[in-house]
A and B are shown apart, each in its own frame.
Chain A
Amino acid sequence: MTMPTYLGMPSFPKAARAAVADTRLRSNLAHATGTIRERRAAAVAELDDWAELRDAGRRIKDHTLEHLGHYLRMLEEKVTAAGGMVHWARDADEANTIVARLVEETGETEVVKVKSMATQEIGLNEALAEHGITALETDLAELIVQLADDRPSHILVPAIHKNRAEIRDLFAHRMPSAPEHLTDEPADLAEAARRHLRAKFLTAKVAVSGANFAIAETGTVLVVESEGNGRMCLTLPETLITVMGIEKLLPTARDLEVFLQLLPRSSTAERMNPYTSAWTGVTPGDGPQNFHLILLDNGRTGIRDEEVGRQALRCIRCSACLNVCPVYARAGGHAYGSPYPGPIGAILSPQIRGIGSEVDASLPFASSLCGACYEVCPVGIDIPEVLVHLRAKAAKKLPEKTVMNAAAWGLRSPARLALGQTIASKARFLTPRLRFPRAWADTRDLPALPAESFRAWWKRTHGESSGGAS
């Protein structure tokens, strides 16, 4: 399984080191995540039954994953009956090949895109470029990232690492239709983007989208968004190609009652998102007349078989975990080397791609295990638990393994622990304050070693009076 665009990324700590030193990035991130975090908390606090909704979301997803094959076949049948065409893609390459072929069959060389995580995951834009097809991102933030030849750094707010002054400069240089005296006022920037995109919407013949949900019992596919640019792509072109991870499925339309509350409040802190587009196959004379649904596995059935890791497939890509994560706020999204950054990315990327590469082996450790992500997750993914589970699977360096094995040996017996403490307290006269390891001592003093461990004190003062070894 692959996410082709991100091959050869450095380990998380290496990439994070540069991000931590970038003061503008730190300030952009702190401001943006801080604002969304407070708004989300307020939006969630409005609902008395949030805990029940969250539990319902978790159970519906788990049920669907349990019976995934059954519901996927139902979806295929309903979409086909409604005039759509369903394609199955085992991995990124298969999905990209199918999309490229479908676009080529229309004779077009340009497609407009709805913001989509699945197509980021498979590196679709780059794959289409190899076939001479230009994919234009129409989500405002994705457009910013694309114009800058950059990578998204947040699931919901891909350009969160850029402030409006940076965006103004980018538009002025890279957007041919940008007005001469463009300011960095959000309304002016949005107007410039609107003019740039509107021309594309009116001429595009093919659109590519992802999906937030698909309903097995009806064959309906849904995209939720804030800007309306997605709606343009989903309704104006003649051909619509949707790439959907197989875990996006829900059994019934009624399940939307739960998820259309959980998602907007968790992601944009809205009671309801401004645009919810739902379509079932093809409607003659209305909207795209050719609809292709590509069901993407790319490692998902393997994750589904993992007892601890499978809960990651409940994810509805809301980004609440990113916005509360203290590590994400300092390291930024790019350090995660994946379109899925933050806590969810740290458990999703190593499971989709395997834990072999430098960055994937480091991602499960990119967390202080503070648990803020689990607390806000609308589908109850215990991210710290999965991180700990994946840490056990990651390859360890020999020096670390040696230290950890020695520590385990020492901590297995109270006598060995006491001996170690005695040696340490005697040795403290040699060096009152340790300067090792440097990773610690560069920024923090180590505590001075005490003259006597608690255990030694207890023995001296309480002797044999209580609690002898059992």
Chain B
Amino acid sequence: MKIALFITCVNDTLFPGTGRAVVSLLERLGHQVVFPEAQTCCGQMHLNTGYPEQALPMVESFTRTFSDYEAVVAPSGSCAAMVRDWHAKLAARQGRPGLARRAEELAPRVYELSELLVDVLGVTDVGAVFPHRVTYHPTCHSVRMLKIGDRPLRLLRQVRGIDLVDLPDAAECCGFGGTFALKNSDVSAAMCADKVASVKTTGAEVLCAADNSCLMHIGGALSRQRSGVRAMHLAEILASTS
């Protein structure tokens, strides 16, 4: 199947390894990945910080760039949720009914990585090998907006050699929340501290999630504390073969 990759601006700029992992994983499974170079950003940061007008051109450009593809994959739960839950609504509220219609038509074909693998491609065993102790943090927008449920866990359970351990209070927000982490840094850091404490009780070497922005936040604190736990995107574990 031909799959268009929406890399997301954060992954593109800061976590290119996640994008390379998605490409290698999907190609290994026999699919063709294309990267439409006109893509930039879903507009989530601007919308969620109170700048819907500035987000609108990004909705427009996303819709134009991806409308012709049968399936679009985003290795980020919150960016996929922004597209699916917000793009059409935002366009409609900004007085752009035509764009809203096109965004609404595109939305169901935009998938978070685990949704694409499990629902569209019908695989849970992707042939990955990862002999490490891993704990999984289900990020808020993946769970509460996209409702991806246990799809990432079903994929991780099939990985050879993995020692997958439950994260206590897993559903609790890590405190990232985009610009929330800057505007309310004290509360954000307190939430992160509790998440880090939960991660440490598991004895995991690797903290996994399907969203690099949450991982950047928790991983940044794990790194600051010299905890010895590293943050890894789901795609990178699923792409691993050794």
- Is there contact, CB below 8 Å, between B50 and A392? yes
Interchain CA distance A445-B140 in the complex, whole Å: 22
Closest A residue, CB atoms, query B218: A444
Total count of chain B residues near the partner, CB < 8 A: 74
- How near does chain A come to B239, taking the closest CB pair, in angstroms? 14
**Chain A 81-102 interface 0/1 with B at a Cβ cutoff of 8 Å (1 = within):** 0000000000000000000000
Task: List the count of A-B residue pairs having beta carbons below 8 Å apart.
Answer: 199
In the complex the two chains form, what is the Cα distance from A290 to B40 in whole Å?
67
Give the segment of B149-157, B159-167, B185-193 that binds chain A: B185-193
Task: Determine the distance from Cα of A330 to Cα of B195 in the docked complex, in whole angstroms.
Answer: 13
B186–A450 CB distance below 8 A: no
B43 contacts across to A, CB distance below 8 A: 411
Contacts of A440 in B (CB 8 A): 181-182, 185, 220
Contact A454 B12 (CB under 8 A): yes
Q: List residues of chain B with CB within 8 A of the CB of A21.
A: 186
**Binary contact track A374-418/B, C-beta < 8 Å → 1, others 0:** 110000000000001001111010001000110110011110010
Q: In the assembled complex, which residues on chain B have CB atoms less than 8 Å from the CB atom of A375?
A: 144
Given A374-B144, A469-B37, A443 contacting B54 (CB threshold 8 A): no
Check: B57 CB closer than 8 A to any chain A CB. Answer: yes
Q: Is the CB of A407 within 8 A of B45?
A: yes
| Of A12-20, A208-216, A225-233, A246-254, the one with at least 4 CB within 8 A of chain B | A12-20
A347 at the B interface (CB under 8 A): no
Task: Judge whether A447 and B38 touch: CB under 8 Å.
Answer: no
Which single member of A12, A371, A421 contacts B140 (CB below 8 Å)? A371
CB pair B61 A412 closer than 8 Å: yes
Output the nearest chain B residue to A26 by Cβ-Cβ distance.
B190
* Nearest Cβ on chain A to B201's Cβ, whole angstroms: 16
Looking at A110-118, A310-318, A360-368, the stretch in contact with chain B turns out to be: A360-368
| Chain A positions within 8 Å of B16 at CB level | 450, 452-454, 456-457
A454 with B183: CB separation less than 8 A: no
Q: Is A107 an interface residue (CB 8 A)?
A: no
| Interface presence of B129 (CB below 8 A) | no
User: What range describes how many residues of A lie at the interface?
Assistant: 35 or more
CA distance A366 to B101 in the complex (A): 32
Instruction: Specify which chain A residues have a CB less than 8 angstroms from the CB of B141 in the assembled complex.
Output: 371
Closest Cβ–Cβ distance, residue A427 to chain B (whole Å): 13
Tell me how far the C-beta of B5 lies from the nearest C-beta in chain A, rounded to whole angstroms.
8
Q: In this assembly, does A424 line the interface, its C-beta being within 8 Å of a C-beta of chain B?
A: yes
Contact yes or no, B186 A17, CB < 8 A: yes
Additional A-B contact list (13), CB under 8 Å, known A392-B52, A454-B16: A17-B186, A326-B172, A367-B180, A369-B48, A370-B140, A394-B50, A411-B9, A411-B58, A444-B223, A447-B219, A452-B16, A457-B20, A470-B64
* Complex A-B, nearest 10 residue pairs according to Cβ-Cβ distance, in ascending order: A368-B177, A444-B220, A391-B50, A370-B173, A467-B34, A371-B144, A408-B54, A454-B19, A454-B16, A439-B185
The residues of B with any CB-CB pair to A shorter than 8 Å are 4, 7, 9, 11-20, 32-41, 43, 45-52, 54-55, 57-58, 61, 64-65, 68, 93, 140-141, 144-145, 171-173, 175-193, 216-217, 219-221, 223-224
